Amino acid sequence: MSQSTKQPNRLAAGGSVDRTRTLKFTFNGQAYTGHPGDTLASALLANGVDLVNRSFKYSRPRGIVAAGAEEPNAVMQLGASEATQVPNVRATQQALYDGLVAYSTNGWPDVQKDLMSWIGKLGAPFMPPGFYYKTFMAPASMWMTYEKYIRKTAGLGRSPSEPDPDIYDHMNRHCDVLVIGGGPAGLAAALSAARSGARVIVADEQEAMGGSLLDSRDRLDDQPAHAWVTTALEELAARDNVTLLTRTTANGYHDHNFVTLHERRTEHLADSAPTIEGRRQPRSRLHRVRAGQVVLATGTHERPLVYGNNDLPGNLLAGAVSTYIRRYGVIPGRKLVLTTSNDHAYRAALDWHEAGHEVVAIADAREAPEGELVEQARKHGIRVIAGSAIIEATGSKRVSGARVARIDRDGFKVVGPVETLDCDTIASSGGYSPVIHLASHTGARPTWNEEVLGFVPHTVKGVTTTGGARGVYPLADVLADGAEAGAVAATAMGFEVATEARHVPQATVVTEGAACALYQVPHEKPTLRAPKQFVDLQNDVTAAAIELATREGFESIEHVKRYTAMGFGTDQGKLGNINGMAIAARCLGKSIPEVGTTVFRPNYTPVTFGAVVGRHCRELFDPERYTAMHQWHVEHGAEFEDVGQWKRPWYYPRRVNGRLESMHEAVVRECRAVREHVGILDASTLGKIDIQGPGAREFLGRVYTNKWAKLAPGRVRYGLMCKDDGMVMDDGTTSCLGENHFLMTTTTGGAAAVLEWLEMWHQTEWPELDVYFTSVTDHWATMTVTGPEARKLLAEITDIDLDRESFKFMDWREGRVADVPARVFRISFTGELAFEINVQANYAMHVWKTLFEHGDKYGLTPYGTETMHVLRAEKGFIIAGQDTDGSVTPEDLGMHWAIGYDKPFPWIGKRALSRSDTRRTDRKQLVGLKPRNPEVVLQEGAQIVFDPQQTIPMTMVGHVTSSYYSPTLESGFALAVVKGGHQRMGETVYLPMVDGTIHEAEIVGTQFVDPEGARQNV
């Protein structure tokens, strides 16, 4: 076969790429071409690009090694613009598209001239394991500086500095059987499960399903293997009970068969998701799958052999060589030497030979290799050197030769003369490691299987492992095993699997000889002095590093891992872990199962943050709750405050002489309006709970500290709720609607918690009380009209008799407001005359607007939460959660009047209030503070001391809980908790500030305005 001139390594035929169409792309600024069907890696190899990265620690030149998720070197930075940058994409998993822009993630200033490369050329001891810990730790303060440069030289990609233009989302899925892996085992499992009627999801990380069958030499039912893949996929796709997800990686296997699948939906099309008729579509999607049963058909990763300079570009996995030739029509060199411990890898040499290139030799570590593939190689005249292995690759930026020698595996030494073979490519295979990462996520420790020389997953409930993932390798066996696994899983979910449902195609049987155990290849020199023999290419961990770690006393494989970084990060030990364990075992004189394995963690391959976040970002980050009057607030320029998830108007700045009021100016104006005229507040957010039943009154008496026995219908009472520790939890008013019917209000933030609290006490402690609770928070819209003119305004639009004698303070009445049926409550949180109007929320906007139609002449002013806070604080009304913090009792608040110690049933918190600690007289108690300088507004949270002369650390005796400027007092004022404060009226306290100033304040009562309460009773 001949090659295309533009892509020197592209074969004229073969593979599933579309040679009639050309795609352009750039790598490190250089323009190249490829074809649809290529991955970025196959296109780079087709173009003869050897050097794709610099290594993490030693900055050594690196090339493409693998063809799948296990690729350690070709980890790319993708994106044509700053906003579309994506780090850590494996070139082997990135489909080529027109206009793709890729860069190496490592290499500073560039991959060809790397400033750090001198480090890699120095002797091995220069950067031993623990190098950074040992070298850069002193002085400790400099670590941040060192780290910046270490990161830059050893980086693994970078985040974009501009907002991502794409969207990502989540989709929840359920199925009976989740099959992970769409190779021969996975497809067979999916077919048998699907044929039983079970709901099946098949996820495969590649561009197309089929796994190893896509580049297999095997035939199924006397057809090329990929033909059966097509048939199988057609059958699955035609079934309603099957979901096929390609380009979808099972990245994490969580508890209870909850598996997250990362589907890359548009990454194969462009670096930003194309729109469909102008509509956005998610770039990638995280499927959150709750599976009844999981079938792990994750196959194997081929293990490379560990020999000197095995990281030079031109060193590839044997299987990858086959994949590039057979699937992509790319041959990554001219002259190949294969070094292997098994028959299966001979396919690489056969494929290479059939592509018309020279196979220089096969170094087979076994004394007497036999088997059909070996015979085929010999028949083709390929030289097979038995009992030997490549001990070292030679070359600078690309392999130029292979040093082959006879080795004694048991004695771990070279036993014959070294022959140097001229070649540009080395394929190696040390056998196959079952891909057990997902099984490992479940917490199950794998067990070593000596027969297949690999760790296989431990059996866990709800999981069936099949095919290569459990060490079953011959294709005929894999298919049968897969069909059985699918049947087992479906049966476990209660489906009947007929015999014919397990039908699988007939595979040609290829007899293979036994493999031998070989991990690290001995060198003439001892490991510590031999050319670097890489175990983990991505993290630059060498055999010498592992040996050194064991010499330094790291015996546990988990410690060796952390000391050397083997299997860290995005790699998760896909290529190197078993070799590393084998080397540690050799150094420690133990067996591999004795050394054991490390734990693989999610994610299997990197998942973009966008997919993790999904749509829970920006305007959809968190729910925003709106009242029925929200639009009016927006249109009237309100600034909003978040109270829980509610958006409450904070203040309404007005434009005065072309300038928008500051918050202070607006709040002063709003406060004056309420104290002098009339204001209106949207109080709809307060929690409202409808309580019905003959046990309601008794129940209230048990959850509130005060008395409810005599509250008559038509009346309202303030209530204080404690936790069982006696600390104030929530407060609000509760109205008696009927003898067995009450309406409780809670704080805005406490509504859900209070309802749960009531239900909990009812269901667990007092089920004998006949009472039901139902939230009506959203049903009623609430508007507070308050101020001296409130009665006059309301009277204009209501049929309720507002006379002060018949509708008293703390009464409620029914009637019509603006023609709408309303309940009106005469309660006050401002200290002024106030009416709280409640109407069904769908009518609220009409009522609100009608109030404004009539309110102009009275100066009706909308006010927000800030003004509400000032006005209530002037009256000494607490806000639960601001003036209390879970450590404040009703007595600490001075609210003895709201405690019914003599109630017959011991209400929640009563017992706690008789504890010696809650009876102390030096507890922090709520008081008012009046700054000596009226212009000072104390800081909320500021600490209080009695003695300003005391040296630091000073004795702190309390803190400010609420502090505002009062337009009524024309002074700052505050609420605070102070030790023994109730007995310290008139005393001076001090508030030292960060800038050195010390404020003085006088302890006063908490009611700053109208302490007699005359204004609300008019």
Partner 1 sequence: MSDIRQFQTHPEVEIATESPLAYSRQRSGAPAITVSSQVMLRERPFQGHLTLRGGAIVLDEALRHVLGLSLPSQPHGLNHDDSGERSVQWLAPDEWLLIVPGGEEFSLETRLRDALGDAHVSIVDVSGGQTVIDIEGEMAHAVLMKFTHYDVDPTVFPVGKGVTTGFAKTSAILRRSSASRWELVVRRSFADYLYRWLLDAGEEYGIGVER
Per CB under 8 A, residues contacting partner 1 are 169-174, 199, 276-277, 279-282, 288, 290, 615-616, 619-620, 622-628, 630-631, 646, 685, 690, 692-694, 713-714, 737-741, 770, 772, 774-781, 814, 816, 818-821, 823, 839-846
Question: How far does the chain reach from its first CA to its final CA, in angstroms?
Answer: 103
Q: Provide, rounded to whole angstroms, the least separation between the CB of residue 6 and partner 1.
A: 38
Q: Provide, rounded to whole angstroms, the least separation between the CB of residue 711 and partner 1.
A: 13
For residues 483 and 820, which CB has a smaller minimum distance to partner 1 in the complex?
Answer: 820
Query: Which amino acid makes up residue 656?
Result: V
Q: Provide, rounded to whole angstroms, the least separation between the CB of residue 637 and partner 1.
A: 16
For residues 619 and 1012, which CB has a smaller minimum distance to partner 1 in the complex?
Answer: 619
For residues 821 and 906, which CB has a smaller minimum distance to partner 1 in the complex?
Answer: 821
- The pair of structure tokens assigned to 506 is 């007939």
Helix 543-551, helix 557-564: angle, nearest 10: 120
Peptide bond into 128 cis (omega under 30): no
For residues 326 and 633, which CB has a smaller minimum distance to partner 1 in the complex?
Answer: 633
For residues 148 and 256, which CB has a smaller minimum distance to partner 1 in the complex?
Answer: 256
Residues in the chain: 1018
Q: Provide, rounded to whole angstroms, the least separation between the CB of residue 250 and partner 1.
A: 18
CB atoms within 10 A of CB 92: 27
Q: Provide, rounded to whole angstroms, the least separation between the CB of residue 989 and partner 1.
A: 42
| 175, 292 Cβ separation under 8 angstroms | yes
| 688, 744 Cβ separation under 8 angstroms | yes
* β pairing state of 728-738 and 716-722: antiparallel
Q: Provide, rounded to whole angstroms, the least separation between the CB of residue 835 and partner 1.
A: 17
How far, in whole angstroms, is CA 693 from its chain's centroid? 46
Q: Provide, rounded to whole angstroms, the least separation between the CB of residue 737 and partner 1.
A: 4
DSSP string for residues in 251-300: EEEEGGGEEEEEEESSTTT-SSPPPBTTB---SEEEEEEEEEEEEE---E
For residues 607 and 737, which CB has a smaller minimum distance to partner 1 in the complex?
Answer: 737
Alpha carbon distances (Å) from 609 to 232, 248, 466, 616: 34, 16, 31, 12
For residues 620 and 985, which CB has a smaller minimum distance to partner 1 in the complex?
Answer: 620
How far, in whole angstroms, is CA 514 from its chain's centroid? 45
For residues 359 and 820, which CB has a smaller minimum distance to partner 1 in the complex?
Answer: 820
Q: Whole-angstrom Cα distance, residue 150 to residue 182? A: 40
Q: Whole-angstrom Cα distance, residue 249 to residue 69? A: 10
For residues 376 and 775, which CB has a smaller minimum distance to partner 1 in the complex?
Answer: 775
CB atoms within 10 A of CB 840: 14
For residues 398 and 823, which CB has a smaller minimum distance to partner 1 in the complex?
Answer: 823
How far, in whole angstroms, is CA 232 from its chain's centroid? 35
* Residue corresponding to tokens 């001990």: 391
For residues 176 and 481, which CB has a smaller minimum distance to partner 1 in the complex?
Answer: 176
> Burial, 947: exposed, middle or buried (Cβ in 10 Å; 0-12, 13-18, 19+)?
exposed
Rounded to 10 degrees, the C-alpha dihedral 308/310/315/316 comes to 130
Rg (CA), the chain: 38
Q: Whole-angstrom Cα distance, residue 34 to residue 49? A: 12
Q: Provide, rounded to whole angstroms, the least separation between the CB of residue 242 and partner 1.
A: 12
* Residue corresponding to tokens 């991502």: 164
CB atoms within 10 A of CB 447: 14
For residues 744 and 929, which CB has a smaller minimum distance to partner 1 in the complex?
Answer: 744
For residues 624 and 803, which CB has a smaller minimum distance to partner 1 in the complex?
Answer: 624
- Write down the H helix ranges in 788-921: 790-796, 844-855, 865-874, 916-919
Q: Provide, rounded to whole angstroms, the least separation between the CB of residue 776 and partner 1.
A: 6
Q: Provide, rounded to whole angstroms, the least separation between the CB of residue 823 and partner 1.
A: 7
* Residue corresponding to tokens 């052999």: 305
Peptide bond into 88 cis (omega under 30): no
Query: Which amino acid makes up residue 234?
Result: E
Q: Provide, rounded to whole angstroms, the least separation between the CB of residue 346 and partner 1.
A: 47
Closest listed residue to residue 92, CA positions, set 228, 249, 298, 232? 249
Q: Provide, rounded to whole angstroms, the least separation between the CB of residue 846 and partner 1.
A: 5
CB atoms within 10 A of CB 765: 11
Q: Provide, rounded to whole angstroms, the least separation between the CB of residue 819 and partner 1.
A: 5
Q: Provide, rounded to whole angstroms, the least separation between the CB of residue 612 and partner 1.
A: 15
| 146, 136 Cβ separation under 8 angstroms | yes
Q: Provide, rounded to whole angstroms, the least separation between the CB of residue 193 and partner 1.
A: 15
Alpha carbon distances (Å) from 152 to 115, 129, 145, 155, 1010: 11, 19, 11, 5, 66
For residues 555 and 622, which CB has a smaller minimum distance to partner 1 in the complex?
Answer: 622
For residues 8 and 713, which CB has a smaller minimum distance to partner 1 in the complex?
Answer: 713
Q: E strand or H helix at 466, and its extent?
A: none
Q: Provide, rounded to whole angstroms, the least separation between the CB of residue 604 and partner 1.
A: 22
For residues 164 and 351, which CB has a smaller minimum distance to partner 1 in the complex?
Answer: 164
What region does 956 belong to: left with phi over 0, alpha with psi -120 to 50, or beta? beta
3-state secondary structure 175-201: EEEEEECCCHHHHHHHHHHHHCCCCEE
* Residue corresponding to tokens 């007497």: 368
| 735, 742 Cβ separation under 8 angstroms | yes
418 forms beta bridges with: 405
Closest listed residue to residue 333, CA positions, set 361, 304, 303, 356? 356
For residues 497 and 737, which CB has a smaller minimum distance to partner 1 in the complex?
Answer: 737
For residues 230 and 281, which CB has a smaller minimum distance to partner 1 in the complex?
Answer: 281
Q: Provide, rounded to whole angstroms, the least separation between the CB of residue 616 and partner 1.
A: 7
Rounded to 10 degrees, the C-alpha dihedral 966/970/971/974 comes to -20
Q: Provide, rounded to whole angstroms, the least separation between the CB of residue 241 and partner 1.
A: 8
